[in-house]
Structure 1
Amino acid sequence: MPNPYSEIFRAPGTKGFAAAGFVARLPIAMAPIGIVAMLSQTHGEYWLAGAVSATYALTNAFLAPQISRLIDRLGQTTVAAPAATISASAFLVLIVATNQHWPVWTLFASALLAATMPSIPAMVRARWTGIFRDQPGLYTAFAFESVADELVYIAGASLSVGLSVALFPEAGMLASTLFLAVGTAAFLLQRSTEPRLEPSAERATGSAIRLRPVQIITLALIFVGVIFATAEVSTVAMTKELGQPGAASLVIGVYALGSFIVGIIVGGLNLTMPLPRRMLISVAAIALTTLPLLLADTVLMLAITVFISGLAISPTFITAFGLIERRVPEAMLTEGITWVMTGIGIGMALGAFAAGWVVDTFGAHSGFFVSVAAAFASLLTVLAGQKSLAGGRQEIPRNTLAQPAE
């Protein structure tokens, strides 16, 4: 039986842009925690470190879809090259400002500018779509990218903090900036796989978020992002309460491991079930597997239930991006993917806040009630949106087209 992963990499140029895209996306995980690690060591104030990191993350969540909309209209190289240059330059300014103890406003200003970092995962998936559109290989490619995202989040945060602690406070951010600059340059230089511009792209003036399928999937994955953050916050709180705080990183790693393993397996399957139904089953599995978290009362039970909870994450992501590819107009693909990824990030920010408040107010174990509530909210969202998620690719709505001159 042929290996589906080796099959997709037989297409010319795929190995090159996939490798470059992996390097270029490492800052997604490295930058937010790297800012915290850097500033908390140099300035000794966690509120400042968290505020600057949040400024970057929330601004990027707003700007990334707008940048991706321009990419859909003008092309990856035309837009992403200057956006990544501004972002990398601003990160360098942030590093220097931290090292030289420049005024606090310079930290926030550079974080704002650094938020122009384009969505590399969306651009990579757009290239896969251009090569394997309407072919089984696209599902495998999306599975591979979901697994790559898992690796980024597993390795990126640990690498960023590890460098800052082992070498010097700015080391993690410096490495993150180099990965962004070198990885993005290597990715954009591979012009042969850059998606062609759709004729309708120049006329599209509205946003992909106005399309009902994008709204449904983005909202569903906001709730999934809440589950992510809640699992991490609650795990840290529970292991500390149980007297084994060092076990937190192991348990969180097990959570990602479950998603990683299932993602590899699912990507190799030739599934024929309609994507909307597959999405419904995936989020239903997420909802059901959050329930055992409420019963965990030892570190071992916590690790087992967290592993089980992570099993359905990758299939949900793979299916969500598959639905975006099928339902969003080709001229809005990069933006549509970016909105979904932004939804995950927004959910993680909201989840960290909500879980933190619940843990502080009701105790460490109570944080998992946030996971359960978010999981069933995601399930209800997908269930209610089954009709909108079904069908073929949508046309660009009339009111999102520039009107021709009279």
Structure 2
Amino acid sequence: MFHTRRNTLIEHAGWSYFPLAFIARLPFAMMTVGVLTLVVAERGSVTLGGLNSAAAGIGTALAGPLLGAAADRLGQRRVLVPVGLVNATLLGAFILVVRSATPDLALLTMSVLIGATAPQVAPMSRTRLVAIITRKIRPADRQKVLSSTMAYESAADETVFIVGPFLVGILATAIAPWLAIAGAAALTLVFVTRFGLHPTGRLQAGSTGSQDQAPARELAHAKLLTVVAGALGIGLFFGATLTSLTGYLAADGDGDRAGLFYGVMGIGAAALALGSAAFPTRFSLTARWLTFGSLLLAAAVLYASARDELTIVIALAILGCGIGPTLVSQYSLAAQLSPFGRSATTMTMLGSAVVVGQAVSSAVTGAVVDSFGATTALALPAVTAAFVVAAGIAHAVATPQPERDRQPELIPA
């Protein structure tokens, strides 16, 4: 998949890199769902569970780009390892706090801290791989390898964001809700630390010196901000879908099965994300975003009209086919639009947008479930899918036609 005439990206990164990076990003995907599930189970309120997920998202939104900027300046090792250790400790303590008589406000504060210290392995991994591509891959092959790499990374994200909730559902149903958070803490302690210490952690997509970095104001370019808005929409979609699904199933006492149902979406998501690397160059990234975003919207309308589990499962399967290529397109655009020396910052901006969108949407959807009922909440994913399409239209407007048709080259080595 990452083949060039002379070598492979896998050989440059190391054969252990990809499975390590995959497992290391699992705790991040389990965090918001695990917090939601545990709070609902222990405190008996979907609204409070959604608020805690939102609090974790707020923490990520506030700290994520700052951690990315620190990694651009100091290197990933100096950031990921200490942050991962703090996050693992907070996750472990959260189990005790949520089961105690601690006031809700203190619980929300702790959720903010958990989000703020969440190690964003996915954007850090993209940054490392882009650095390898710009330094090790021949210029003639870079764009093809970048496309395949972003397709894989997005497929990995999709799989993890499905597997994470799936694991939470399995553990919560089979054993206890607290075990999901305990598992996330253990995975963070072992695998995030190992990922931080991996030799690729020394790599930067640009120079580490601040004098070689593009000015921070370039991160506020309209084209890049529309991509960040699109990633926010993806997060909003994730949160609305999972929480509305949880509320719908909880009405019959089966809320713990939400992670299992949610896993259905991962089948099409992973397959189509990986398959997007085979799309022809003339099928531009913006066109892919609009095409598959529209499929996402159509499937979300079907989901909104569902009143039985079979229809929900069918809608979730189709939703996966739309979400995968859409996310691939957004991250590929972000890699191309990232200002020089700001790759980790750019990728964490997208990662933070996904998480804060998921968390805020979880809170809003939870409130809708409690106030208006689960069937009303089923309509919210369609609203978020419309936001994804609108962001894609805004990106197309901000990007001239010749530029949309051209596949930009990466920064030369």
Q: In which range does the TM-score fall when normalised by the shorter chain?
A: 0.7 to 0.9
In structure 1, C-alpha distance between the alignment counterparts of 2:380 and 2:309, rounded to whole Å: 19
| Greater shift in the superposed pair: 215-224 or 88-97 | 88-97
- Give the match for residue 385 of structure 1: 395
In structure 2, C-alpha distance between the alignment counterparts of 1:233 and 1:52, rounded to whole Å: 13
1:197-246 deviation digits (Å, cap 9, x = unpaired): 63475145636652222210121222232222333333344556799878
- Give the match for residue 175 of structure 1: 183
- Give the match for residue 223 of structure 1: 233
Higher relative contact order (CA 8 A, sep 6+): 2
**Is 1:23 equivalent to 2:23 in the alignment?**
yes
Q: Per-residue deviation at 1:120?
A: 0.6
- Give the match for residue 127 of structure 2: 126
**Is 1:262 equivalent to 2:272 in the alignment?**
yes
Q: Per-residue deviation at 1:277?
A: 2.7
- Give the match for residue 137 of structure 2: none
- Give the match for residue 13 of structure 1: 13
1:147, 1:314 within 8 Å by CA — same for their partners in 2?
yes
Q: 1:213 aligns with which of 195, 199, 223?
A: 223
Q: In structure 1, what residue type is equivalent to 2:57?
A: A
| Greater shift in the superposed pair: 118-127 or 250-259 | 250-259
- Give the match for residue 154 of structure 2: 146
2:245, 2:258 within 8 Å by CA — same for their partners in 1?
yes
1:73, 1:197 within 8 Å by CA — same for their partners in 2?
no
- Note the aligned Cα RMSD (angstroms): 3.6
With normalisation by structure 2, the TM-score equals 0.80
1:86-127 deviation digits (Å, cap 9, x = unpaired): 222333444455678778777556544432223110010111
Q: In structure 1, what residue type is equivalent to 2:118?
A: M
In structure 2, C-alpha distance between the alignment counterparts of 1:46 and 1:369, rounded to whole Å: 17
1:39, 1:98 within 8 Å by CA — same for their partners in 2?
yes
1:152-188 deviation digits (Å, cap 9, x = unpaired): 2222233345446655664332321121121122212
Q: In structure 1, what residue type is equivalent to 2:24?
A: A
- Give the match for residue 202 of structure 1: 210
- SS of the residue corresponding to residue 385 of structure 1 reads helix
Q: Per-residue deviation at 1:368?
A: 4.0
- Give the match for residue 327 of structure 1: 337
Q: Per-residue deviation at 1:299?
A: 2.6
Q: Per-residue deviation at 1:330?
A: 3.0
In structure 2, stretches of 5+ residues that fail to align are 135-141
- SS of the residue corresponding to residue 118 of structure 1 reads coil
Seen in structure 2, the aligned counterparts of structure 1 residues 317 and 132 have a Cα distance that, compared at 3 Å, is: same
Q: Per-residue deviation at 1:35?
A: 3.6
2:147, 2:332 within 8 Å by CA — same for their partners in 1?
yes
- Give the match for residue 289 of structure 2: 279
- Give the match for residue 398 of structure 1: none
In structure 2, C-alpha distance between the alignment counterparts of 1:101 and 1:298, rounded to whole Å: 38
1:120-141 deviation digits (Å, cap 9, x = unpaired): 1001011111122433122112
- Give the match for residue 399 of structure 1: none
Q: Per-residue deviation at 1:313?
A: 0.6
Q: In structure 2, what residue type is equivalent to 1:16?
A: S
| Greater shift in the superposed pair: 97-106 or 322-331 | 97-106
1:359, 1:367 within 8 Å by CA — same for their partners in 2?
yes
- Give the match for residue 87 of structure 1: 87
Q: Per-residue deviation at 1:46?
A: 6.8
Alignment of 1:315-394 (within 5 A): 315-359=325-369, 363-389=373-399, 391=403
2:27, 2:164 within 8 Å by CA — same for their partners in 1?
yes
- Give the match for residue 61 of structure 2: 61
- Give the match for residue 197 of structure 2: 189
In structure 1, stretches of 5+ residues that fail to align are 396-406
- Give the match for residue 313 of structure 1: 323
